[in-house]
Amino acid sequence: MTFARQTPEIDGVDIHPHVPSPEAVQPFLDYVLPRLRPDQTFLVTEFSLVWYWQAHMSDRIPARFADRYGFDPTSQVWQVIQASIEQPFPQEQWDFFLSTSPWYESQKYFLRDQMQKFRDTGRLAVATYGYRQGPSMVKDFGPGKPPWLLNTVFAPDTVEPWRNGTTGRGYAWIEEFRALQQGVPNAIG
């Protein structure tokens, strides 16, 4: 930070907060902002709750989901995700799984809320968010693998393509992602 502050050619710094709770992002800002020159900004090349998701991989799945889709009610979250990787779910099934999971549903506004915090600093240059699931996210998925695939706006590896060919979506993020880009500078890229 000292080097970045003292070097006029450097316009700012990058933070990359992958955190276990929404509150855990604030220490990044508390550390960086006071150490920037007044003319410097910060980037957020990516941010997520991946470590929060990880803490819930061994939770039991919601009973409502198990009943509706024929899963053993003692199944764990990671097992349902693994099943969706092996045979992608219809969009409705994926959405129902995550929306009935309290640990996920309680964070469905993370993207919007965190972007507001970044913007409220007046120093945000740009922030980006996971856009699409990829092969490394699903390869050898199991209870100990970080569930990066839950961060993405699009979910082609866990959700069937729609009838019109549209890529499956990650639950909760698409509307937030769109809203954040509607005529707003410094929106998520």
With cut-offs at 50, 70 and 90, classify the pLDDT of residue 129.
Answer: confident
pLDDT class of 187 with cuts at 50, 70, 90: very low
For 92-128, b where at least 16 C-beta lie within 10 A, e where not — what string?
ebbbbbbbbbebbeebbebbbebbeebbeeebbebbe
Q: Please say if the pLDDT value at position 97 is more than 60.
A: yes
- Alpha carbons within 13 A on the beta-carbon side of 150: 30
Q: What are phi and psi of 14, to 5 degrees?
A: -115, 140
β pairing state of 124-127 and 41-44: parallel
Domains of the chain, by residue range, sit at 40-181
148 has pLDDT over 70: yes
Closest by CA position to 107, among listed 185, 168, 173: 173
Identify the residue with better confidence: 187 or 38.
38
Would you state the structure tokens that stand for residue 48, as one six-digit string? 């997520």
Average pLDDT over residues 123-143: 93
What integer is the mean pLDDT of 179-184? 65
Q: pLDDT tens digits for 63-94? A: 999 999 999 999 999 999 999 999 999 999 99
Q: Which two tokens stand for residue 146?
A: 């970080």
Is residue 185 pLDDT above 70, yes or no?
no
* Structure confidence at residue 174 (pLDDT): 74
d(CA 139, CA 141): 5
> How many percent of the chain have pLDDT more than 70?
96
pTM, 2 dp: 0.89
